[in-house]
Amino acid sequence: MNDLGEVGSGLERHEMEIFLTLAEELHFGRTAERLHLSGAMVSQTLKKIERRLGGPLFERTSRRVTLTPLGRQLYDDMRPHYDALRAAVQRATSAARGIEGTLRVGFLGVMSGIRAHQGAALFRERHPDCAVEVVEVQLDEYVHPLRDGTLDMLVTLVPIQEPDITIGPLLLDAPIYLATSATSPLAARASLTPEDLAGQVFPMVSDRVPQHWLDQYLPQLAAGGTPIGRTEQRCSTYQEILALVSAGKCVAIGDHQLVQYYARPDIAYVPLSGVPNLRHALVWRTAAENARMRAYVDAVTDLLRERAQAA
Q: What is the pLDDT of residues 15-61, one digit of tens each?
A: 999 999 999 999 998 999 888 889 899 999 999 999 999 999 999 88
Share above pLDDT 70 across residues of the chain, in percent, rounded to a whole number: 93
Where does the pLDDT of residue 89 fall: very low under 50, low under 70, confident under 90, or very high at 90 and above? Answer: confident
Q: What is the pLDDT of residue 5?
A: 41
Q: What is the pLDDT of residue 91?
A: 66
CB within 8 A of 90, min separation 6: which ones? 126, 127, 128
First CA to last CA across the chain, in angstroms?
35
Mean pLDDT of all residues in 261-284: 94
Mean pLDDT of all residues in 153-180: 94
Q: What is the pLDDT of residue 2?
A: 40
Domain extents for the chain?
6-97, 101-172+279-310, 176-276
Two domains, one topology: 101-172+279-310 and 176-276: yes
Q: What is the pLDDT of residue 92?
A: 67
Query: Does the structure show a pLDDT above 60 at 4?
Result: no
Tell me what the pLDDT averaged over the chain comes to: 89
Instruction: Count CB neighbours of 128 within 10 A.
Output: 14
The model scores a pTM over 0.85: no
CB within 8 A of 85, min separation 6: which ones? 4, 7
The CATH architecture assigned to 6-97 reads: Orthogonal Bundle (1.10)
For residue 271, the one-letter residue type is: P
Q: What is the pLDDT of residue 95?
A: 64
For residue 42, the one-letter residue type is: V
Q: What is the pLDDT of residue 114?
A: 95
Query: Does the structure show a pLDDT above 50 at 247?
Result: yes
Q: What is the pLDDT of residues 219-240, one digit of tens each?
A: 888 877 888 889 999 988 889 9
Mean pLDDT of all residues in 105-119: 95
Does 214 or 108 have the greater pLDDT score? 108
Mean pLDDT of all residues in 109-135: 93
Question: Rounded to the nearest 5°, which phi and psi values hold at 165?
Answer: -110, 130
SS (H, E, C) the chain: CCCCCEECCCEEHHHHHHHHHHHHHCCHHHHHHHHCCCHHHHHHHHHHHHHHHCCCCEEECCCCEEECHHHHHHHHHHHHHHHHHHHHHHHHHHHHHCCCEEEEEEECCHHHHHHHHHHHHHHHHHCCCEEEEEEECCHHHCCHHHHCCCCCEEEEEECCCCCCEEEEEEEEEECCEEEEECCCHHHHCCCECHHHHCCCEEEEECCCCCHHHHHCCCCCECCCCCECEEEEEEECCHHHHHHHHHCCCCCEEECCHHHHHCCCCCEEEEEECCCCCEEEEEEEEHHHCCHHHHHHHHHHHHHHHHHHHHC
Q: What is the pLDDT of residues 8-23, one digit of tens each?
A: 446 888 899 999 999 9
Query: Does the structure show a pLDDT above 80 at 86?
Result: no
Q: Looking at domain 176-276, which of 3.40.50.150, 3.40.50.970, 3.20.20.70, 3.40.190.10 is its CATH number?
A: 3.40.190.10
Least confident of 123-127, 181-185, 186-190: 123-127
Q: What is the CATH number of domain 101-172+279-310?
A: 3.40.190.10
Mean pLDDT of all residues in 165-176: 95
Mean pLDDT of all residues in 70-78: 93
Query: Does the structure show a pLDDT above 70 at 93?
Result: no
